[in-house]
Structures are given as structure tokens and as C-alpha cells.
Amino acid sequence: MSVLSGKNILLGITAGIAAYKTASLVRLFVKSGAHVKVVMTPASKEFITPLTLSTLSKNPVHSSFTNEENDVWNNHVDLGLWADIFIIAPATANTLSKMAHGGSDNLLLATYLSAKCPVYFAPAMDLDMYKHESTTSSFEKLQSFGNIMIPATSGELASGLVGEGRMAEPEDIISFIEADILGKLPLNGKKVLITAGPTHEAIDPVRFIGNHSSGKMGFEIAKAAANLGAEVVLISGPTHEKVVHNFIKVIPVTSADEMYQEVHKYFNNVAIAILSAAVADFKPKEVALQKIKKKSDTLTLELERTKDILASLGAIKKQQFLVGFALETNNELENAKQKLKKKNLNLIVLNSLQDKGAGFKGDTNKVTFIDNKNNITEFQLKSKTEVAEDLLNEILKQIHA
């Protein structure tokens, strides 16, 4: 999944011959999972039709302050605020000059002045125009505003000259924006280990000891970390949860022993480890090789402790930020504090089965964060997606404190 997935991208098109490339650019944005809207200068419609772009973007294309069919106002403020990313490509010398000096004589420029999101511009013009001092001054001024320039490339230009001024290719524009976004994400370049779901401890080839964990909380944490730029290793017990993300590697396991082995394989190379899995505390001491038959009204199983994965990591951790989870039914806060200290954690996430909407299977959770300085932060009931975001924000706050 691209870092652009789910983003609202507003593409501004100006009157340059490179406008023909925007059909491919729209398709690539849509393919990346983004929502795309297009705003054009009136003159740009001489180079590519709004029909083509509306068909590819699956949204109406705007080029004037009012809708030509019914005189409804096209609200440039709404367009600017809708966008997560505004990319102007091609950006002509004329439009760049107006942007640099606050001109707003068309819908695209008015929208630019209303935008609160990151703005990228991809210049496209002939060699002499690209090198002219007025144009380089526009580049410098726009970048001083915080706008991000996607440099033009060298090549054959519409005039027949060869040199700088050729708009970057659509694939390169996508790559540039993705790399720029990733480079600014707080977990870019960091590896994060996450465990999720239950473990199943075999009794015989048919039966097992397990619990009701769905794995949803761990999967949401993995997505939240990946969306912040982390390279995520997600080790999950049996679950119906699925995730498709370029930055998440899912390793399926079944038993506590398997999870222990996989966690220790990756732990030394991660910056953050978040163990949200509901690992079985006990397993059958002997596993029957054949299905156990019903020979009497009772069955006695001898159980033994599974390896304590969280404690084993706490004992060997160095620079890693280690997070555990505590699901309690009584004396919640004290039990969580003891677990935090005993297992040498940086942070523990407490939830209680006494809280309605918390715990296994559901889409919500009610948690309390306790750190190793005894700071306690209690949250109201939230979606597990929001809980995951809160957790990553807390970790980042503590790492950078």
C-alpha cells in the first residue's frame, strides 16, 4: 500500500504542453489509493480535456468560479481545505509568478491561496524561461513559503531546444512525493516489532487451549506504526484479521513457543516492541498424538507454564522501547504497575474486562497508559484505531522527551 493511500490529492493543471501527461498522473494517483480532484486554469483546457480528467479521477473537474451548467459557485475554500496534498503540474512560469505574488485571477490560484496542506509544484517551460531570473526568483519565493519544488528535468522541449524545463515524468512525481512524505514521518527508518492475536496450545491434533483475542488491536497498532513510516514486523497468532501494507511484514504463528522464537529472532534489531498478543500462560505438558476419545465423563490435563515472552525481552533489552499489555479483571491498576516493573517495561497499556466496550473481539477499547516513571494517562472509550494512534503518539512523546 502506498503512503498516498487514502489521501485527498488536489491536482492543479496550468496551460503548458506537459498538461497531456496529467492523464497518466491522475491514473497513478488513483492506483496508489488516493482520492483525486482536479482544478484547471481555463487556458489549460486547450491541452487536455476536463472530460478525460473527470473520467480518470471519478470526480468533476473545476476550472471556473461558477459551474457553467447551473451557475453554482465552485468554492475554492472548500477545495483547498479538502486536500491533504496540492500538486500543481505542470506549473508554468505565468502561474508560478502569480503564486509568488498572491495573484488570484482564476480558480486554481484562489484555491492555492486557501490551501492549508503541503503544496508541491512541478515546473514546465522552455529553457530560456526556466533560466530567467524572474522564474528563478519565483522558485525561491515559493520555496520560502514552504512550497515544495519537484525539479524539472533536462530533455527535448516543445521549442526543439534541449535542456532544463521538461516537467518530471508522472512516475517520478509520484516517487518524489512519496519519498518526501516518508522522509518527514516520525518513524521513518525505524523498525517496530508488534505481536497480535491469541496463541493456540495443542491438546491433541484436534483440540487446543486458547482465548477470545481477535488480534484486531495488534493489527491496528501495526497499521498506525506503518502509517508513521515504520518498518513493521507483525507476529500474529491465529486470527481472521488481514492487512496489506508495503511496510508491514506479517509472520503467522500458532503457539506461544512459536511466537517466542519469532519475537527473539527480530527483537535485537528493532527500536520499538509492542507486545499486544494475548499469549496463553499455560499449555498441556503432553500433547496427544491422536484425538483423545471420550472414555469417561471427566478429563484431566496436566498443564505447564509457557515461556514469558514479555519478561524475556525485558531481561535483555538495551535501547529498545518495550510496551506490554495488561488485561485485568480486578485490582487493575496495581496489577498493571507490578507487571510494568517486574518485566522491565517502558510502558504498559491497561484495559479491564469490567469496562463496557473494552477487551476482546470488539472494535472499541478503553485503556490506561502507565509508564516507568509512574505517570498514568486514562482514556475514554475509543475505537481501536484511535487507541493505536494514541499509543504511537505516547511512545513518540516519550522517545523524544
Residues classed as catalytic:
211
Q: Is the peptide bond before 90 cis (omega within 30 degrees of 0)?
A: yes
Closest CA to 327 of 292, 295, 354: 354
